[in-house]
Amino acid sequence: MTTIINNARRRFMVQSGLGLLALSGMPSFLQAMEGMAVMPRIPPRKANPNFKADVEFDLYCRPSQVAILKGAQTQVLQYSAVLKKGPKQTLVNIPGSYLGPLIHLQKGQKVRIVLHNGLSETTVTHWHGLHVPAEMDGHPMYAIDPGAALVYEFEVLNRAGMAIYHPHPHEATASQVYHGLAGALFVHDEEEAKLELPTGEHEIPIVIQDRLFDEQNQLIYARNKHDRMVGFYGDRILVNGLPDVKIDVASRAYRLRILNGSNARIYKLAWDDGTPITVLGVDGGLLEQPEIKAYVMLAPGERLDVWADFSGRSVGSQLVMRSLAFTGVLPKMAQRMGNMMHANQLPVGSDYPIFTIRVTEKVSDSPKLPAQLSSFPHYHINDVANPNKPMPISISEGPMAMLLNGRAYADNDVQDFERIKLNTLQLIEIFHAHGGMGMEHKGGGMGMGMGMGMGHKGGGMGMGMGMEHKEGGMGMMGGMMSMAHPIHLHGQQFQIISRSVSSDKTDDYETVRHGFIETGLKDTVLVMPGETVRIIKPFQDFKGVFMYHCHNLEHEDMGMMRDFSIE
């Protein structure tokens, strides 16, 4: 009964929320943009008979239904796969989950995957985190029609780590992922094997997502302008596609392979009893040494490799992984509005449980945490091709649109500063284009100048800033200006070399600042409001067009995405 009332109220609030935005003069620029950009279509790639695959499988995506909540089954879209060649442990289904099978690959394997589009719309699959040729990377221009098939062939060049596979079609990534199309992909190598980390039943994948259901247990994904600006949030946390997850363990060490597969929600992960999180690795694989953190921030697209030792815990005891409270990732007005709307039961940055560990078995021995995990080259500013002219990734957030480098995604729109010489290391600076630009980037190189200029070209920036200082109705638009964005670059993983935050954002920043891991190899980095992040990224082996974008999937589909071209 209560749920029905809540849902009815929710719908009312959504509608009135929309009305509020329309009244406050939200420009129809976004709607105008939608459907304007038409992607070129490249005929689906066929198998190359000279490519000798070690592993080969068919990957299907199609409508399906699964039991998620009590009662009616939920209509979803789902990946499934059939192995044609290779070790049978390559594909592992997660029972009862809408998620695609876990894919286990070995470094050095040659892999052929045939994607079959069983949807009623175009799709293409991207291997987020894998270093593959441009034409194998799932760029939207390779999207295929319903009923068509697309052949991917690549060699696994990555070191051991956790990657994600998910759709990447133009303007439809968010809804396809939301409805269930995503899966975890693991690369294994000898360096990892030597460590004898917990494996088999002691290595547990944990894909965290949030979803919103209607009274018939069906997924709600009705984006309004508010959702597009701040991202779509559900009111229920799912782990591996299921709610209220409890994991039974023995009193020994486990390896948890965590992925934030949510469209927009950012988590501040911590154990509820104050046990620190022992981090083994991040997006691009193992760290050099384990790192001990009170909490870890995990934004959409980011992965976390955790050592969780339950030795010494008694049978019957529990441990909960929670998301702790934090502030600042959403503009204050948007946060308030979001709370009124569908995320009312689970506000972004509130404190809530994610999953529960139950110790159900006593065992006497457990593997020991290795002191040394791995080694990888450290990128240094002296080795980059552009030490004084960082490639800019300027974030502009405004009432008009969410943009990168002042431009919305467009096909065949690579700018000079997005052209990168093959086999170079590049310094890249990610920053917010509005507010404090003059101060933060004073004396910056040419790259900065370009970022600044284009930020203003995006339109409406100055106006938005002015409004931020105004009280009342219009203040909301200004409040839209500042939020956190998980910025993702396709291709090889990068290293974070510095982070700095503007002085007016330090209070919010304090609530998250100890949750970042800077020592590993990353492909997605959370950039907080007022924050500037410098990274060094290699661009080796493959020429061609790759993408960089915000991994808030609603932002990505709005055009907060660009191509870079390796030449």
Residues that bind Cu ion (CB under 5 A): 128, 485, 490, 550, 552, 555
Q: How many residues bind ligand C2O (CB under 6 A)?
A: 11
Least distance in angstroms from the C-beta of 170 to ligand C2O: 12
Residue span binding ligand C2O (CB under 6 A) among the ranges 96-104, 416-424, 425-433, 544-552: 544-552
The answer to whether residue 170 forms part of the interface with ligand C2O (CB under 6 A) is no
Q: How many residues does the chain have?
A: 567
Q: Are 433 and 455 spatial neighbours (Cβ–Cβ below 8 Å)?
A: yes
- Binding of ligand C2O by 444 (CB under 6 A): no
Site for ligand C2O in 289-328 (CB under 6 A): 301
For ligand C2O, the closer of residues 252 and 555 by Cβ is: 555
Please state, in angstroms and rounded to a whole number, the distance separating the CA atoms of residues 452 and 404.
11
Phi, psi (rounded to 5 degrees) for 463: -65, -45
Q: In this structure, are strands 485-489 and 524-527 parallel, antiparallel, or unpaired?
A: antiparallel
Say which entry of ligand C2O, Cu ion, none residue 53 contacts (CB below 5 to 8 A, set by partner kind).
none
Q: Which stretch in 4-12, 50-58, 63-71, 161-169 sits in contact with ligand C2O by CB under 6 A?
A: 161-169
Phi, psi of 476 (to 5 degrees): -60, -40
Report if residue 101 touches ligand C2O, rule: CB under 6 A. Answer: no
Please tell me the distance from the alpha carbon of residue 563 to that of residue 566, in angstroms, as a whole number.
10
Angstrom distance (rounded) from CA 468 to CA 480: 9
Surface-to-core class of residue 79, CB atoms within 10 Å of its CB (0-12 exposed, 13-18 middle, 19+ buried):
buried
- Binds 166, which of Cu ion, ligand C2O, none (CB < 5 to 8 A, cut-off by type)? ligand C2O
User: Binding partner of residue 188 among ligand C2O, Cu ion, none, CB under 5 to 8 Å per kind?
Assistant: none
Residue 168 contacts which entry, Cu ion, ligand C2O, none (Cβ below 5-8 A, type-dependent): ligand C2O
Q: Is residue 562 close enough to count as binding ligand C2O by CB under 6 A?
A: no
Identify which of residues 263 and 482 has a Cβ nearer to ligand C2O in the complex: 263
- Sign for the pseudo-dihedral over CA of 260, 264, 265, 266: positive
Range in contact with ligand C2O (rule: CB under 6 A) among 21-29, 41-49, 147-155, 543-551: 543-551
Binding partner of residue 550 among Cu ion, ligand C2O, none, CB under 5 to 8 Å per kind? Cu ion
Given phi > 0 = left and psi -120 to 50 = alpha, else beta, which region is 416? alpha
Angle, alpha carbons 30-35-38 (nearest 5°): 130
What is the number of other CB atoms lying within 10 angstroms of the CB of residue 59?
Answer: 22
Q: State yes or no: residue 131 binds ligand C2O (CB under 6 A).
A: no
Q: Please, which residue, 261 or 464, has the CB nearer to ligand C2O? A: 261
Q: In what order do the strands lie in the sheet with 245-250?
A: 245-250, 352-361, 318-323, 267-271, 296-298
At its nearest, how many Å lie between ligand C2O and the CB of residue 567?
20
* 342 part of the interface to ligand C2O, by CB under 6 A: no
CB 431 within 8 A of CB 395: yes
- Check binding of 555 to ligand C2O (CB under 6 A): no
90 binding partner (options Cu ion, ligand C2O, none; Cβ < 5 to 8 Å by kind): none
Q: Which of 226, 485, 505, 549 binds ligand C2O (CB under 6 A)?
A: 549
Q: Do the beta carbons of residue 204 and residue 257 sit within 8 Å?
A: yes
* Backbone phi and psi for residue 553, each to the nearest 5 degrees, phi listed first: -65, -25
Dist CA 529 CA 289 (whole Å): 30
Q: How far is the CB of 304 from ligand C2O (least distance, A)?
A: 15
Identified binder of ligand C2O from the candidate list 168, 265, 342, 555, rule CB under 6 A: 168
Q: Contact 255/304 with Cβ under 8 angstroms?
A: no
228 binds ligand C2O (CB under 6 A): no
CB-based closest residue to ligand C2O: 128
**Is residue 128 a contact point for ligand C2O (CB under 6 A)?**
yes
The DSSP annotation for 546-566 comes to: EEEEESSHHHHHHT-EEEEEE
Give the up-direction half-sphere exposure of residue 167: CA atoms within 13 A in the CB hemisphere.
33
549 makes contact, choosing from ligand C2O, Cu ion, none, with CB < 5 to 8 Å by partner type, with: ligand C2O
- Least distance CB 128 / Cu ion (angstroms): 4
Name the binder of 434 from Cu ion, ligand C2O, none, CB < 5-8 A by kind: none
In the chain, the largest separation of any two C-alpha atoms, in whole Å, equals: 66
| Residue 399 burial (C-beta neighbours within 10 Å; 0-12, 13-18, 19+) | buried
432 binds ligand C2O (CB under 6 A): no
Nearer to ligand C2O, 211 or 488 (CB): 488
For residue 126, state whether it binds ligand C2O (rule: CB under 6 A): yes
* Among Cu ion, ligand C2O, none, residue 293 binds (CB under 5-8 Å by kind): none
- Distances, alpha carbon 56 to alpha carbons 62, 306, 338, in Å: 20, 30, 45
Using CB under 6 A, which residues numbered 484 to 503 contact ligand C2O? 488, 490
Distances (CA, A) of 173 to 121, 212, 388: 11, 17, 35
Q: Which of ligand C2O, Cu ion, none does residue 552 bind (CB under 5 to 8 Å by kind)?
A: Cu ion
> Which C-beta is closer to ligand C2O: that of 308 or that of 553?
553
The single residue among 10, 112, 131, 166 that binds ligand C2O, judged by CB under 6 A, is: 166
Smallest separation (angstroms) from ligand C2O to the CB of 6: 33
Q: How far is CA 194 from the centre of its chain?
A: 29
DSSP character at residue 385: S
Q: Which stretch binds ligand C2O (CB under 6 A): 163-171, 267-275, 340-348, 376-384?
A: 163-171
Sequence letter at residue 11: R
C-alpha 234/C-alpha 218 separation (Å) is 12
Task: Report the interface residues with ligand C2O, using CB under 6 A.
Answer: 126, 128, 164, 166, 168, 301, 488, 490, 547, 549, 551
